[in-house]
Chain A
Amino acid sequence: MSCLTRTLLLMLLALAPLTNGLAQDLTAGDMKSLDGQVQEIKSDVLGIASELSNLEERLLYPSNTQVSVFVALAEKEDFRLDSVQIEINGELATHYIYSFKELEALQKGGVQRIYTGNMTTGEHQLNVTIMGKLKSGKDFTESDSFVFSKGIEPKALGLTLSGPGIQVGSW
């Protein structure tokens, strides 16, 4: 019976969250104190990141020339998006190949900023090519062209992709 008791004790121990309680007790306070400090430094670094982004935007993409292109998937789309290629005024702006994680993020409603650049005011031509696979397993490639007008304020273009189809909207 002593073996059984020992077994049960072992089992209780195994189910408990911490095995070496004493060591944990000794360090739990330190862990908690460090956790607070880690949270503080995270907050500081987030602040730096935010300031740096603003600075970078001002320096690299001033508001009067800034053009950004965003990509979203149409609701309830189940096609697999493999890549998106964007040309502006006939020149390659970006060619993006999606990982599974990124595709999943788009399918859940996320919006990807795929391109940010500088354009003069006036009309510009946007060519978009998407490649992917339909639910049926068939590969598809879809291209479309759009004309957009750039004013003196920053321009944000949103591409909504479906299988197959491309819609563009200004925000």
Chain B
Amino acid sequence: MRRISSSLVAVVLGACLAASPAQCEELKDLYFGEALYYAHQSDYFSALERLDSEVMQHGELDEPELGALQYHINDAEFSLGDFELRYRMHHRAGRAIKAVLEGAVDERVRNDAAYRLARIHFQKNQVDDAMRALNRIDGEVPKPIRDDVEFLRANIYLAQDKPEDSMKVFEKLQDSDSYGGFAAYNLGIAYLQDGQRSLALEQLDRAGQITTDDPAELAIRDKSNLVAGTIYLENGEQERALPYLNRVRLDGPFSNQALLSAGWASMATEQFDRAVVPWSMLAEREVTDRATQEAMLALPYAYGKLDIHGRAAVYYGRALDAFGAEVDKLNKSIDSIREGKFLEALVREEIRKSEDWVIRLRSLPETPETYYMMELLASHDFQTGLQNYLDLADLRRKLLAWEASFDSFDEMVAIRHEHYEPLLPDVDIYFRELDSRLRLRSEQHKMLVKRRDDLLTTPRPEFLATPEEQAILGRIEYIESQMANADIAFSDSFAARLKRLKGRLTWTLETEYHARLTEFDRNLRSLDQAMAVAQAEYDQYVRSRQAATHSYVGYDTPIKRLRTKARESVAKVELLMARQGRLLEVVAIEELMARRSHLENYGDKARFALADSYDRATQAQAKVTDE
């Protein structure tokens, strides 16, 4: 029973781990929002590319606390791990979340990180590491993940073969809104693992009667009933098994298995006519299903037991034809895979757009019969391999597109180089002239500003004299010095006249000083504005000049480096694709060959039983005729 429990638990947990990407309440960083936009479309490559850059740029800021991402930094770092996890980069996801866990973060954030890390370990089947991560949870657990944490804890206990511990947790989760149905079923499995058969059956009985309209919970309800029915069948209690098998919905994913088991339960109690009912229904269903194929043999077997050998022979004949046709289909499918059609179908664009692309594979022409691979396709390892193959195909497409864009970049840089290179020497000559003129004017402006500031503290009226007044003043001073040094004496009236003239000028300068200073200041202010305009134009010119250079200088090395990296990556991707594809083909072919061998075996049995039924029918006919 261990095999049942471990596989079922894995399915249940897988369904529950599909939570949506992070979503914060009020978005303040557009670039973080942009990453979420891609993540919400399941384009995790684009989401990671953007968020990685944004988090890195935020870390490089001089004052990261002023950056817009600061409001979401914990969410962003979580989301990085989350997106990496969803993009199946478990190694990086683990590192990203560990970094959050070991950083100085809030208790709730740390606990959330511990849960996510535990989830990664559990998905990688590292159950002890998963439990160690969960044990780091201490204090307040964020409400939205409280049930998630406990559900994961219980499942880890189950995987660690500690059913008693898991039961305690599952019991507490019975009323959980999100896990009620799953916890009810898993509790039954835990009892089973603990060897408490009757308690397990009681619990599975409860889980098999939950009222719900949720498709996932309906499926788990069916599974509970199927497992309970199977346990009773194993124990030879067919009558008790039947009600559970009958509870399984006829249109659910477990209906084929339930119908088959119901038939065998009736056969075991020799109620052959009752076995005919579910098997007749099942024999008409999808012929590629294992249960259907078995029912196609079992149905005529039941008719044989009812001594209706003629009808049995007809059904054996139908089964034989159907098995033959299916073996042909399988042969074609195996050939198709060997020709590489399976991998070709996988990478078709139209297939990838649909969420149920695995199902849609069937409808494509010239593709193998993927229904026979459904169980394989549902297995974790094969799915990982498939997804990796698809991811590699995506990476290859991206890299090839980038390789083409490098040529465009080179061309763009060359055109800009050709355009600017002849223009720039003349521009630079003009710029140097302009630069020296502007520097001169700037120095003059600074000197005037200083003079005005000096005049405000130490008034010097002569500094504000008009050129004419300055000339007169100079002339007076000259005459005064001549008079002082002359050998002859000047008349008093001449000296008085000169003194009056000087007094008149001084009067004007002194009395008009404030008005002149105001005028000087006004003029200087308008000069400030003109200088600011000139400086702005100068700065704009410098920026344009730099932009011209930056538009074509310094790209050769990065383009060359990126081109080399892309080329190397294409080679690596192609090699990995070939290896991964080959591995998928081998596994798929082995699966189909196993199914073919199984069908061939059924075919042999049908052939023998057909002959036997004809004999018996003939004998019965002869007996009737004799009588």
Residues of A within 8 A of B (CB): 1, 3-4, 7-8, 10-12, 14-20, 23-24, 27-28, 30-31, 34-39, 41-56, 58-59, 62, 64-65, 70, 72, 101-102, 104-106, 108-113, 121, 152, 156, 158, 171
B619 CB, min distance to chain A CBs, angstroms: 24
Stretch at the interface among B141-149, B385-393, B499-507: B385-393
How would you classify the secondary structure of chain B's contact residues: helix, strand, loop or mixed? helix
Contact flag A112-B48 (CB < 8 Å), given A14-B290, A23-B591: no
Q: How far is the CA of A52 from the CA of B591 in the complex (A)?
A: 42
Contact between B388 and A70, CB atoms less than 8 A apart:
no
Give B263 Cβ to nearest chain A Cβ, in Å. 9
Cβ-defined contact, A19 with B591, below 8 A: yes
* Sampled A-B contacts (20; CB under 8 Å): A7-B261, A7-B264, A10-B290, A14-B290, A15-B7, A20-B590, A27-B586, A36-B91, A41-B569, A42-B87, A43-B92, A46-B49, A46-B52, A49-B402, A53-B49, A59-B413, A64-B543, A72-B33, A110-B40, A112-B37
| Interface: B599 (CB within 8 A) | no
User: Are B573 and A41 closer than 8 Å at their CB atoms?
Assistant: yes
Chain B neighbourhood of A19, CB < 8 A: 375-376, 379, 591, 594
Q: Given the known A-B contacts A4-B268, A110-B37, A110-B38, are A43 and B543 also in contact in the complex, defined by CB atoms under 8 Å?
A: no
A157 to B459, CA, bound (A): 54
Chain B residue nearest to A45 in the complex (CB): B395
Contact of B39 with A14 in the complex, beta carbons under 8 Å: no
> Is the Cβ of B3 less than 8 Å from the Cβ of A50?
no
Q: How far is the CA of A107 from the CA of B61 in the complex (A)?
A: 31
B373 vs chain A, min Cβ distance (A): 10
Q: Which residues of B contact A51 (CB under 8 A)?
A: 558, 562
Q: Which residues of B contact A (CB under 8 A)?
A: 3-4, 7-8, 10, 20, 23-24, 27, 29-30, 33-34, 36-41, 45, 48-49, 52-53, 68, 87-92, 230, 233-234, 257, 260-261, 264, 267-268, 290-291, 294, 298, 375-376, 378-382, 384-385, 388, 391-392, 395, 398-399, 402, 405, 409, 412-413, 540, 543, 547, 550-551, 555, 558-559, 562, 565-566, 569, 572-573, 576, 579-580, 583, 586-587, 590-591, 594
List A contacts of B294 (CB < 8 A).
Answer: 7, 10
Are A11 and B230 in contact, with the CB atoms below 8 A? Answer: yes
Which chain B positions have C-beta within 8 A of A106? 37
Q: Cα distance A13–B160 when bound, in Å?
A: 22
CA gap between A111 and B33 in the complex, in Å: 5
- Cβ 8 A contact of B562, one of A12, A24, A48: A48
Find chain B residues with CB under 8 A from A38 CB.
88, 388, 391-392, 576, 580
Q: How far is the CA of A58 from the CA of B262 in the complex (A)?
A: 69
Chain A residue contacts of B384, Cβ below 8 A? 31, 35
- CB of A101 within 8 A of CB of B41, answer yes
Q: How far is the CA of A48 from the CA of B565 in the complex (A)?
A: 7
B-chain residues with CB within 8 Å of residue A43 when the two chains form the complex: 89, 92
Smallest beta-carbon distance A98→chain B, Å = 11
Q: Is the beta-carbon distance between B10 and A17 smaller than 8 angstroms?
A: yes
CB <8 Å contact, A113 and B34: yes
Of A41, A56, A62, most B-chain CB atoms within 10 Å: A41
Are A11 and B53 interface neighbours, CB within 8 A? no
B547 and A110 form a contact (CB under 8 A): no
Report the minimal beta-carbon distance from B381 to chain A, rounded to whole angstroms: 5
In the complex, the answer to whether A42 meets B53 with C-beta atoms within 8 Å is: no
- A4 to B38 alpha-carbon distance, docked (Å): 52
Question: How many angstroms from the CA of A18 to the CA of B454 in the assembled complex?
Answer: 94
A77 to chain B, nearest CB (A): 14
CA distance A70 to B591 in the complex (A): 50
Q: A3-B267, A19-B594, A111-B33 are in contact. Are A52 and B8 (CB under 8 A)?
A: no
Q: How far is the CB of A7 from chain B (nearest CB, A)?
A: 5
Residues of B within 8 A of A8 (CB): 230, 233-234
- Residues of chain A within 8 A (CB-CB) of B91 are 36, 39
How many angstroms between the C-alpha atoms of A16 and B11 in the bound complex? 10
Whether B583 and A11, one on each chain, are in contact in the complex, defined by CB atoms closer than 8 angstroms, is no
Residue of chain A at shortest CB distance from B561: A51
Q: Is the Cβ of B49 less than 8 Å from the Cβ of A49?
A: yes
Which of these, B4, B30, B90, contacts A158 with CB under 8 Å?
B30
| Contact residues in B for A110 (Cβ distance below 8 Å) | 33-34, 36-41
A127 to B375, CA, bound (A): 55
Given contacts A8-B234, A15-B7, contact A104 B40 (CB under 8 A): yes
Q: Are A171 and B233 in contact (CB under 8 A)?
A: no
A17 touches B591 (CB 8 A): no
B576 close to A20 (CB less than 8 A): no
User: A15-B7, A36-B91 in contact; A171/B30 too (CB < 8 A)?
Assistant: yes
A45 CA to B579 CA, complexed, in Å:
19
Given the known A-B contacts A20-B590, A20-B594, A41-B573, are A15 and B392 also in contact in the complex, defined by CB atoms under 8 Å? Answer: no
Question: Is A45 in contact with B399, judged by CB distance below 8 angstroms?
Answer: yes
Say yes or no: B385 contacts A31, CB within 8 Å.
Answer: yes
Q: Cα distance A42–B83 when bound, in Å?
A: 13
With A10-B294, A45-B399 as contacts: A39 and B27 at CB distance below 8 Å = no
* Closest Cβ–Cβ distance, residue B380 to chain A (whole Å): 6
Chain B residue numbers with a CB within 8 Å of A54 are 53
- A23 CB to nearest B CB, Å: 4
B402 proximity list for chain A (CB < 8 A):
48-49, 52
Residue of A nearest to B572 (CB): A41
Docked Cα-Cα span, A97 to B446, in Å, equals: 58
Instruction: Write out the residue numbers on chain B whose beta carbons fall within 8 Å of the beta carbon of A20.
Output: 376, 587, 590-591, 594
How far does the Cβ of A61 sit from chain B's closest Cβ, in whole Å?
11
User: Is there contact, CB below 8 Å, between B376 and A42?
Assistant: no
B3 touches A16 (CB 8 A): yes
Contact of A4 with B40 in the complex, beta carbons under 8 Å: no
Min Cβ gap B48→A in Å is 6
Among B49, B68, B298, B586, the residue within 8 A (CB) of A171 is: B68
Provide the bound-state CA to CA distance between A113 and B46, in Å: 13
A15 to B384 CA separation, bound complex (whole angstroms): 19
Q: Which residue of A17, A34, A46, A50 contacts B7 across the interface (Cβ within 8 Å)?
A: A17
Contact A105 B398 (CB under 8 A): no
A51 to B, closest residue via Cβ:
B562
CB distance from A51 to the nearest CB of B (A): 6
Bound: A64/B569 CA distance, A = 33
Say whether A28 contacts B34, CB under 8 Å: no
Q: Is the CB–CB distance between B88 and A39 below 8 Å?
A: yes
> Contact at B37–A11, with CB atoms within 8 Å?
no
B85 nearest CB across to chain A (Å): 11
Q: Which of B4, B382, B566, B590 contacts A12 (CB 8 A)?
A: B4
CB neighbours (8 Å) of B92 from chain A are 39, 43
Return the chain B residue nearest A65 by Cβ.
B547
Kindly provide the distance from the CB of A152 to the nearest chain B CB, expressed in whole angstroms.
7
